[in-house]
């Protein structure tokens, strides 16, 4: 036993003194712009402005002050199936890390057998056998430690995948909810305009009966009524399908939210100020960028795993075997034998496969570095595009509101002139048609403004901080 203990001490000393081959990972130093190119302030005519003050976007959907939206997002976070899949992949990554780390420790196997043998003449004997085999591959050149490092980075990547799903999920719930409220508002406007056009059609019909106008005017009025009425089923279809989309995001059957959401409600209004922070914040906030960095870390560690195959592998093996004619005899020391000793294996000729694998992993590392750069550029592009879209749509909405006001005055004047016989019905119908189109466009713009803000929040990487996965053990702790 003293020899076994001495061998273990020697092996432990060699392991501690061992090196770790392959490149060490360093966080990428990626310079970022000092400020956003897009507008940070907008004209006073706009209801909401963006500022470069530090952004707090952990629960950005609450900035709309809509309890129904808050409830939908909270339920989606708890029930969404894509999020459940991402969580499963995280658990899978953690199990893979356990497999990788297990190679740092000795492995032991127990065995037992029983044989009964005899001759044709009638003699027979029994043989009981029990054994314990142990093996320990000493990670002198750090191949296993690099595998653990890569597995830890894979766990970080899986965590960022969950966070990325959360960012997408919260934004998709909000976008669909805004669509729903927009469609419902469009239905209300269509029904209001339909009622007005029906009144006008009735007046035109009465004036035709009195002989003041032609049947063509009646046909024009009826055609406009029919055209407006035809818009309502299309909008109701879109409304119901959007409710089904929200149900899917919440992991529910399509009809389970109809009763809750079919009642019309206003389109949520954007907050007065939207802090966006600085471009450098994206490196820490965007989950896709963080995931790309974790993947780069894992690819770097796998270069070390491949490099370790160039060097010899050292093993410490031992066994304890006992055999006898009875089970009781297995405990007799005279029937037991043991062995322990080091071993070495070193690939001498592999036809270049080891160095080719190192090149494969090095190129994979280079690809991960390129993808990280792409992720950063995409993040910057997303925010800049969202800033411009949010600002410009607000400017467009101001003009549309002016158009609605002007068309309402036009309709009122046209109706008064028509009632007094001072203009024909075409002016009334044209004014009503223009008003319907302007009001419909304004509602769509109200929806688009809010959706552009959601896209901005998504581009900033908001929506995961409040429900982020627990931290991953560091590579040093794993060692």
Alpha helices in 62-115 (DSSP H): 67-79, 81-102
Q: Is the pLDDT of residue 2 over 80?
A: no
The SS3 assignment for 251 reads coil
d(Cα 271, Cα 145) in Å, to the nearest integer? 50
Q: Is the pLDDT of residue 364 over 70?
A: yes
Has residue 322 been placed in a domain? no
More reliable by pLDDT, 209 or 14: 209
Has residue 3 been placed in a domain? no
Nearest CA among 30, 297, 285 for reference residue 156: 297
Torsion of CA 355, 359, 365, 369, to 10 degrees: 150
Question: Domain count of the chain?
Answer: 1
What domain range includes position 189?
30-107+143-313+355-478
Has residue 51 been placed in a domain? yes
pLDDT for 326 equals: 81
Nearest CA among 299, 16, 347 for reference residue 146: 299
Q: What is the mean pLDDT of residues 91-107?
A: 92
Q: What is the mean pLDDT of residues 208-212?
A: 73
Has residue 333 been placed in a domain? no
Nearest CA among 477, 100, 156 for reference residue 304: 100
pLDDT in tens, 448-473: 999 999 999 999 998 887 665 555 54
Has residue 17 been placed in a domain? no
How sure is the predictor about 137, in pLDDT bands with cuts at 50, 70 and 90? confident
Dihedral (CA of 447, 450, 454, 460) sign = positive
Q: Is the pLDDT of residue 3 over 60?
A: no
Q: Is the pLDDT of residue 272 over 60?
A: yes
Nearest CA among 12, 315, 11, 10 for reference residue 134: 315
181 contact partners, CB below 8 Å, separation of at least 6 = 264, 265, 266, 267, 268, 447
d(Cα 242, Cα 236) in Å, to the nearest integer? 10
Q: What is the mean pLDDT of residues 121-139?
A: 85
- Whose tokens are 């927009």? That residue is 182
Question: What is the rounded radius of gyration, in angstroms, for the C-alpha atoms of the chain?
Answer: 37
Q: What is the mean pLDDT of residues 351-361?
A: 93
For 337, the enclosing helix (H) or strand (E) is: strand 336-345
CATH of the domain at 295: 1.20.1600.10
pLDDT in tens, 374-428: 999 999 999 999 999 999 999 999 999 999 999 999 999 998 888 888 888 888 9
pLDDT for 5 equals: 44
Has residue 329 been placed in a domain? no
Has residue 175 been placed in a domain? yes
d(Cα 294, Cα 27) in Å, to the nearest integer? 10
pLDDT for 16 equals: 46
By residue count, the chain amounts to 479
d(Cα 32, Cα 476) in Å, to the nearest integer? 29
pLDDT for 468 equals: 58
pLDDT for 475 equals: 39
Q: Is the pLDDT of residue 253 over 90?
A: yes
Lowest mean pLDDT among 288-302, 327-341, 393-407, 433-447: 327-341
Q: Is the pLDDT of residue 14 over 60?
A: no
Phi, psi for 114 (deg, rounded to 5)? -140, 130
How sure is the predictor about 156, in pLDDT bands with cuts at 50, 70 and 90? very high
Lowest mean pLDDT among 1-5, 58-62, 149-153, 328-332: 1-5
The per-residue pLDDT of the chain, averaged, comes to 88
Has residue 267 been placed in a domain? yes
pLDDT for 295 equals: 96
Quote the distance between the C-alpha of residue 145 and its chain's center.
Answer: 30
Q: What is the model's pTM?
A: 0.86
Q: Is the pLDDT of residue 13 over 70?
A: no
Q: Is the pLDDT of residue 164 over 60?
A: yes
């Amino acid at each position: 036993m003293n020899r076994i203990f001495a061998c273990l001490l020697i092996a432990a000393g060699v392991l501690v003194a061992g090196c770790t081959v392959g490149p060490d990972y360093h966080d990428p130093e990626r310079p970022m712009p000092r400020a956003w190119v897009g507008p940070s302030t907008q004209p006073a005519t706009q209801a909401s402005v963006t500022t470069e003050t530090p952004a707090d976007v952990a629960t950005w959907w609450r900035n709309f002050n809509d309890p129904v939206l808050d409830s939908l997002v909270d339920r989606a976070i708890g029930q969404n199936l894509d999020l459940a899949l991402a969580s499963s992949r995280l658990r899978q990554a953690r199990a893979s890390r356990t497999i990788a780390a297990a190679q740092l420790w000795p492995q032991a196997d127990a065995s037992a057998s029983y044989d009964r043998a005899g001759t044709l003449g009638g003699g027979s004997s029994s043989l009981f056998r029990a054994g314990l085999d142990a093996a320990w591959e000493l990670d002198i050149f750090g191949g296993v430690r690099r595998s653990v490092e890569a597995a830890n980075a894979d766990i970080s990547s899986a965590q960022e995948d969950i966070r990325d799903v959360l960012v997408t999920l919260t934004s998709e719930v909000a976008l669909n909810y805004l669509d729903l409220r927009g469609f419902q508002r469009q239905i209300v406007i269509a029904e209001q305009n339909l009622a007005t056009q029906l009144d006008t059609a009735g007046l035109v019909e009465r004036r035709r009966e009195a002989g003041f106008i032609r049947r063509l005017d009646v046909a024009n009025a009826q055609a406009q009524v029919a055209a407006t009425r035809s818009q309502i089923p299309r909008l109701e279809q879109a409304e119901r399908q959007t409710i089904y989309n929200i149900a899917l995001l919440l992991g529910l059957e399509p009809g389970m939210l109809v009763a809750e959401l079919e009642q019309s409600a206003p389109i949520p209004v954007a907050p007065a100020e939207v802090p966006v922070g600085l471009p450098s914040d994206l490196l820490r906030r965007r989950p896709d960028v963080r995931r790309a960095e974790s993947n780069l870390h894992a690819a770097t560690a796998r270069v070390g795993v491949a490099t370790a195959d160039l060097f010899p592998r050292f093993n410490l093996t031992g066994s304890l075997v006992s055999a006898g004619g009875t089970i009781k005899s297995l405990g007799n020391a005279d029937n037991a034998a043991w062995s322990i000793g080091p071993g070495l294996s070193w690939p001498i000729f592999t036809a270049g496969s080891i160095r080719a694998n190192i090149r494969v992993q090095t190129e994979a590392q280079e690809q991960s570095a390129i993808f990280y750069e792409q992720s950063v550029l995409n993040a910057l592009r997303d925010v800049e595009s969202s800033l411009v879209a949010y600002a410009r749509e607000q400017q467009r909405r101001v003009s549309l509101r002016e158009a609605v006001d002007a068309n309402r005055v036009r309709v009122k004047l046209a109706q008064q002139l028509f009632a007094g016989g001072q203009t024909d019905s075409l002016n009334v119908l044209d004014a009503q048609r223009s008003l319907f189109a302007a009001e419909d466009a304004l509602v769509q713009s109200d929806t688009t403004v809010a959706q552009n803000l959601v896209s901005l929040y998504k581009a900033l990487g908001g929506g995961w901080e409040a429900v982020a996965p627990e931290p991953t053990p560091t590579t040093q702790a794993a060692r």
